[in-house]
């Protein structure tokens, strides 16, 4: 099977794909504890309440393993977080709007977590 000669990949495609594969592979290989004895979040240390990002690392690791229910249990916005993370490697025309909407969503989610 041969590819057409006029088929060209976008500039930087190889390193972007490699970076994406590395990030997903690292998340897949990591096994953070479901209930860590030592939390690394300064906000949690000060208040005893989860911040808008608490649980996101555990959730992204579960998402990379395709454990959807576990991922949503740790952090409901994990698909958005993964999309935002991977958008750093790709030239997406609406990346600024994605990040703005994502940060607002994480902020609202954090406030809701504090109140509930």
Residue 104 maps to a domain: yes
Instruction: Establish if 8 belongs to a structural domain.
Output: no
Q: How far apart are alpha carbons 21 and 58 in whole angstroms?
A: 18
CA distance 56 to 100: 18
**pLDDT digit string, tens, across residues 6-36:** 667 677 888 889 999 999 999 999 998 888 8
Question: Is residue 75 in some structural domain?
Answer: yes
Between the alpha carbon of residue 24 and those of residues 8, 29, 88, the distances in Å are 25, 9, 13
What average pLDDT does range 50-71 have in this prediction? 93
Task: Judge whether 3 lies within some domain.
Answer: no
Domain assignment present for 50:
yes
Could you report the per-residue pLDDT of 64-99, keeping only the tens digit for each?
Answer: 999 999 999 999 999 999 999 999 988 888 999 999
Do 50 and 112 touch, CB atoms closer than 8 A?
Answer: no
Question: Per the domain annotation, does 2 fall within a domain?
Answer: no
Residue 6 counted as domain residue: no
On whether residue 83 sits in a domain, the answer given is: yes
How many domains, in total, are found in the chain? 1
Contact 86, 23 (CB under 8 A): yes
CA pair distance 20, 40, nearest whole angstrom: 25
Which residues span the domain enclosing 34? 13-115
């Amino acid at each position: 099977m041969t590819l057409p000669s006029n088929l060209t990949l976008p500039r930087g495609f190889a390193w972007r794909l490699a970076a994406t594969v590395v990030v997903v592979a690292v998340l897949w290989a990591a096994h953070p504890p479901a209930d860590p004895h030592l939390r690394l979040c300064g906000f949690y240390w000060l208040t005893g309440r989860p911040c808008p990002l608490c649980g996101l690392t555990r959730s992204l690791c579960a998402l990379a393993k395709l454990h959807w229910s576990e991922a949503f249990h740790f952090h409901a916005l994990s698909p958005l977080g993964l999309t935002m993370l991977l958008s750093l490697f790709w030239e997406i025309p609406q990346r600024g709007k994605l990040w703005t909407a994502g940060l607002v969503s994480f902020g609202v989610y954090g406030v809701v977590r504090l109140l509930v």
